Amino acid sequence: MADEAKHWWEKHARSFQETANMPVAVVYGAGATEEKLGLLGDIAGKHLLEIGCGGAQCGIAFAKQGAIVTGVDIAGAQIEYARELAMRNGVSIGLMQRDMTDLAPIASESQDIVFTASALQYVDDILACFQEVRRVLKPGGVFVFAVGHPFDIVNGDLQPERSYFDTGRFVTGAEVSDEIGFAFCVNRRTVSDYVNAVAGAGLVIERMVEPDIRPVDPNDPANWRWGSSPRRLENYPCTLILKSRKA
């Protein structure tokens, strides 16, 4: 799936970034920010690696707080956008194009924090990814990740679109066109899939967060994006966050 994710983002990164207009802030998911949750604390002077950084909005926000940031993404188009955005924001961050399951250029035990949000669904081998995270973390280092909540399986009208247990690789668009970059592919997982992968990589879970973002503003267009609705956001968890540590 890495190839499909790469092809899609190479083709659509620029238009996505311009349409989404994501803020330069540490955002875990809809309505859930580091400013509200305080999972990382003071990061000034710390080495922080953001994997699946996309446009590096989070990484740039971390750099503004004094962290020494490196961002990794599979798509060159995302890295190009991130580099431009960092320049516009007056910060310097390291950026490299890599698959999240192979962080070979990052030295072992070099990072205080590894962070990722809304990217792990594009990874096939989640255990390999987490093993690489553990390798690059210093002893005592922290890994925080956020994903779309696996139980968020309903549409804007709160009707289930599938079973929670229908997991695995999901491709859309291939039935319409075989054009490179047309198919969109994600991996669906359960909460236990993520928990077991963290444990399997030898990391110790410290905290799990399912942010309650109520009240949800019905007049904010962001709360109607991508098939969502304020009613959906108020009744179902939309983000799952796990904080773990390398012993």
Phi, psi for residue 9 in degrees, rounded to 5: -70, -30
Quick check: helix, strand or coil at residue 133?
Answer: helix
Contacts of 90 (CB under 8 A, 6+ apart): none
pLDDT-based confidence at residue 3 (cuts at 50, 70, 90): confident
Quick check: helix, strand or coil at residue 134?
Answer: helix
Quick check: helix, strand or coil at residue 232?
Answer: helix
pLDDT-above-70 percentage for the chain:
100
185-196 per-position pLDDT tens digit: 999 999 999 999
d(CA 165, CA 158): 18
d(CA 211, CA 191): 15
pLDDT value at residue 15: 96
d(CA 70, CA 62): 10
> Above 70 in pLDDT, residue 1?
no
Q: How does strand 239-246 pair with strand 137-148?
A: antiparallel
Among 172, 4, 170, 178, smallest CA distance to 74 is for 4
pLDDT value at residue 182: 93
pLDDT value at residue 45: 98
**């309505």: which residue's tokens?**
31
Amino acid identity, position 124: D
30-54 per-position pLDDT tens digit: 999 999 999 999 999 999 999 999 9
> Above 60 in pLDDT, residue 237?
yes
d(CA 122, CA 4): 9
d(CA 42, CA 245): 16
pLDDT value at residue 157: 83
194-236 per-position pLDDT tens digit: 999 999 999 999 999 999 999 999 999 989 988 889 999 999 9
d(CA 11, CA 246): 36
d(CA 113, CA 243): 10
Phi, psi for residue 208 in degrees, rounded to 5: -125, 135
d(CA 243, CA 206): 6
82-113 per-position pLDDT tens digit: 999 999 999 999 999 999 999 999 999 999 99
Greater pLDDT, 105 or 156: 105
pLDDT value at residue 175: 85
pLDDT value at residue 178: 87
> Above 80 in pLDDT, residue 142?
yes
pLDDT value at residue 225: 87
pLDDT value at residue 155: 83
Contacts of 87 (CB under 8 A, 6+ apart): none
Token pair of 176 as six digits = 């319409």
**Which domains does the chain show, CATH number per domain?**
2-246 (3.40.50.150)
